[in-house]
Amino acid sequence: MLIGSMSNESTMSPPFEIQLQSKLLSAPAEIRYAIYENLIPDRIHAAVRKNSLRLSPCVQRERDGDAHCTYRRSDHLILNLDHRADPAFVRRLGSSWGEHWRCEEMQNGREMSANTLLRVCKRMSVDVAQWIADSVTIHVCDFNTLMVLEASSDGRALDHLTPSKLSQCILPNLKTLSISLRLPLATYEALENATSIGGSKISLVVAWTKLLKAIERMTSLRRLHIWLDHDEGSTWSKVNERAIVSPLACLRDIPNLDVSINLPRLHPKWETPERHFTEDSPASPLTIHRRNRQRYHVKRGWNGSLGWEHSPDFPILYDHEEWFGVSIEEIEELERQCWKKGGDVYKEFIQPFEPKCRISFIQDC
């Protein structure tokens, strides 16, 4: 006897045997789903690995995105001033997965239950895939997987990938998608200058185009979260936010889709209404949330060795709030006004307290 694939028969899978001999598969849906919920985390990363699209658990903790990068250190209680003494700290600072650096370290560990369950048999594969699509947030942190989204959204598989239930069943029916991209600054600059480069392939342009095509086909998608940053110590304000967000503006017209974008805070000295979404400029077509950027970055030495540097973006005084005895909001406003008036925060507020301070500040854009 054959049976279809639950509620999404046309997109989820061909017919399969009902397998009445299986006590699990013959159990009521709420019992099966309770078991899956116990075995599979509610946040999962999808990434191209070993020539296929694979799943790994999202193990991000609440403070992994702390701007002080405290929990990226091997010993989070100590910041080793020898810039090469903690290779794990340096590696995590440079992670292209951004705040999901811990997840990147875990992706090559033991295979998670979801991958195993998806291979048990066709009936269970479809059952698990449907539950994941309905209940789990899928995180994507790299360009290669974004390219797969467009192909997978209509059930196609890319030539270089082994077909999987993730690409064939989960992504086309997904409810919640989170994208985190920490890219080279040059990638953002290429997007800004795309109109003058002619027919060359600009990776972010291609990725955004494919993402839009994928979202249009993912008719079940209800929540889309996009997190962006670049991987250098210079201010985020070097990036033309409007050039990045404008191609995505059409997402606001998709019914029942909630879209939010998370960007670093702007530096008052370098923000402009023509390039950025400032308080005094036309609003973004999509919801934007702001965060403090990580304040430590990878630095390559003259001999090629990798270390770290402390290069904070706005607010710089965030590192010294205990000096002033006022709230962080008051400190930020004090610093903002100083920059707006053309002042020098280092000379006016830090030098008097710490004449020999060696912190590097973003004063040259």
* pLDDT of 5: 37
Cα distances (Å, whole numbers) of residue 225 to 20, 178, 207? 40, 5, 15
How far, in Å, CA of 264 to CA of 217, rounded? Answer: 30
Cβ atoms of 180 and 227 within 8 Å: the answer is yes
Cβ atoms of 259 and 251 within 8 Å: the answer is yes
- Looking up tokens 């291609």, which residue turns up? 206
The per-residue pLDDT string of the chain (365 residues; one tens digit each, 9 = 90 and over) reads: 233 334 444 444 445 555 656 777 777 888 888 988 988 899 999 888 777 777 889 999 988 988 888 888 877 656 656 656 688 899 999 999 999 999 998 887 666 777 778 777 777 888 888 899 999 999 999 887 877 776 665 555 544 444 466 666 787 789 999 999 999 998 888 877 764 444 444 567 777 877 888 888 888 999 999 999 999 999 999 999 998 898 899 999 999 999 999 999 999 999 999 999 998 888 888 999 999 999 999 988 778 788 888 888 888 888 776 667 777 788 888 888 888 888 888 887 777 665 444 433 333 33
- Looking up tokens 């997007």, which residue turns up? 191
* pLDDT of 79: 62
The first and second tokens of residue 361, run together, are 């500040």
Give the relative orientation of helices 203-217 and 143-152 as an angle to the nearest 10 degrees. Answer: 30
| Eight-class DSSP state of 339 | H
pTM for the structure as a whole? 0.84
For 327, the enclosing helix (H) or strand (E) is: none
For 299, the enclosing helix (H) or strand (E) is: strand 296-300
- Which residues fall within 8 angstroms of residue 97, CB to CB, at 6 or more apart? 103, 104, 141, 142, 180, 182
The first and second tokens of residue 315, run together, are 């607010």
* pLDDT of 111: 66
Largest CA distance in the chain: 82
How far, in Å, CA of 202 to CA of 187, rounded? Answer: 8
How far, in Å, CA of 32 to CA of 39, rounded? Answer: 11
How many CB atoms neighbour CB 50 within 10 A?
Answer: 8
* pLDDT of 240: 93
For the chain, give every domain's residue range: 43-109+137-309, 315-365
347 by Cβ neighbours in 10 Å (0-12 / 13-18 / 19+) ranks as exposed
